[in-house]
Amino acid sequence: MVISCPTTGRGAPDCLADLQPGERATVVTLDGEPRLLQRLCALGIRPGQTIRLLRQAAWGGPLHLRVGMTELMLRRQDARHISIAPLS
C-alpha cells in the first residue's frame, strides 16, 4: 500500500534514511504494510509534512526526528519506507 502527495517536480525523492543530520525534507510517499502506515500516520509522518533529522544513532541505530513540534525516534528500517523531497 502506498500513500502519496503530489511531487514538487525536483526529481526523484530520496529515502528518509539517507537524510543527513540538520537537513529538512518534505514527505512525498509512505510505502509499506498497513500497520506500518498506520503507525507512521499516528506519529504525524504524513505526505506533505516537513521533517528535520536531528541526529543519527551509531551502528545503524534509530533516527532522531522532529515532525512539527514533536520529536521522535524512528528505526532506520521504517525510515526506508518514507520517500522524501529534500528542502533547500
The alpha carbon dihedral of 24, 30, 31, 33 has a sign of positive
Checking phi first, is residue 81 left (phi over 0); if not, alpha (psi -120 to 50) or beta? alpha
Each residue of 31-52: b (16+ CB within 10 Å) or e? ebeeebbeebeebebebebebb
Q: What is the pTM of this model?
A: 0.82
How confident is the model at residue 85, as a pLDDT? 92
What confidence tier does 2 reach under pLDDT thresholds 50, 70, 90? low
How confident is the model at residue 8, as a pLDDT? 46
How confident is the model at residue 1, as a pLDDT? 60
- The reply to whether CATH 3.40.50.620 applies to domain 2-86 is no
Region 30-51: mean pLDDT is 93
CA 4, chain centre distance (Å): 12
Is the pLDDT reported for residue 36 higher than 60? yes
In this predicted model, what pLDDT tens digit does every residue of 4-16 receive, in sequence order?
444 444 554 489 9
Q: Which three cell numbers stand for residue 24?
A: 529538512
Instruction: Using the structure block, give the residue that is written with the C-alpha cell 514538487.
Output: 8
